[in-house]
Amino acid sequence: MEEIVVGRRMRVGRRRSVSKARPWIIALTVFALLAGAGIGAYFWFVRPAADDGIPNPAVVAPGGFRADVASNKTITVGLEVRNTADLPVTLIQARIIAPPGLTSTAISIIPTGPENEGFSLDGDLPPTVPVELGVNDGDRNAIVAARYTIDCDSLDATDPTFAEQIFVIVKIGNEQREEELTPPVVDEETWLTATAKRACLDPVPTSSGEPPLPPLPATTGSPAPDPSQPS
């Protein structure tokens, strides 16, 4: 019996030649990578920041505010804030750390434009929306308005060293940051404590007539009487 062996035929052909990378190409690639990394590092560490030359904080509370004291142990305050930078700043949000005994029911940011002329603190506070503060006297201000209910017993028991705080989130260009404002002071008491104590008096002082607290700019309500002018 004859055996037939089937096998694979070997192909005869040329072996592909492996091209070697030329040394100058490798050197050029390494140089380009190092140059790119160096330029990136330079712009990361020494690039001008978006807020270079901008004061920090860029938004301040110059001291003016108005308060409305209701007979149901509710107070509403409106604080003037101002852009001190030389370019527009967007006011995104505000938050206030109030003393014990004050429960927040609303907080809002209100632009001081013609659309809010005659604004009154005894009405509903509008929802918070971002407000752009300009660089001119007529558009660089805004109002942070907040409403609280008062627990007079808890307020009276507040630690005298408690510190009220006001924070705003601002956007400058593409950068966003939180800044702390200085609360106004009335007769050596911070604004919320002073206003809340008025709400706890019996009888509660009315908000009619000229308020004893510093008024807001005239664009947010009726201007306070000028004591230098005859009545």
118-166 pLDDT, tens per residue?
Answer: 667 778 888 888 999 999 888 899 999 999 999 999 998 888 889 999 9
Provide the pLDDT confidence category of residue 112 given band limits of 50, 70 and 90: confident
Q: Where are the alpha helices (DSSP H) in 47-172?
A: 152-156
- Using only the alpha carbons of the chain, give its radius of gyration: 33
CA dihedral for 26, 31, 32, 38, sign (positive or negative): positive
Q: Determine the pLDDT at residue 101.
A: 95
CA separation for the pair 75, 149 (Å, rounded): 6
Query: Residue written as tokens 């005869």?
Result: 12
* Cα 125 to Cα 16: distance, rounded to the nearest angstrom: 81
Q: Which amino acid is at 115?
A: E
Query: What are the φ and ψ backbone dihedral angles of 78, each rounded to 5 degrees?
Result: -130, 120
Which range among 21-35, 75-89, 114-128, 180-194 shows the weakest confidence by mean pLDDT? 21-35
168 falls in which pLDDT band (50, 70, 90)? very high
Confidence of residue 187 (pLDDT cuts 50, 70, 90): confident
Contact predicate 191/102, CB 8 Å: no
Whole-angstrom CA distances from 88 to 33, 114, 144 are 39, 19, 18
C-alpha–C-alpha distance, residues 63 and 80, integer Å:
7
Q: Name all domains of the chain by residue range, CATH numbers in brackets.
A: 59-220 (2.60.40)
Measuring CA to CA, which residue among 107, 125, 102 is closest to residue 199? 102
**What pLDDT digit, counting tens, does each position of 81-107 carry?**
999 998 999 999 999 999 999 999 999
- DSSP annotation of 87 reads S
Q: What is the mean pLDDT of residues 15-36?
A: 63
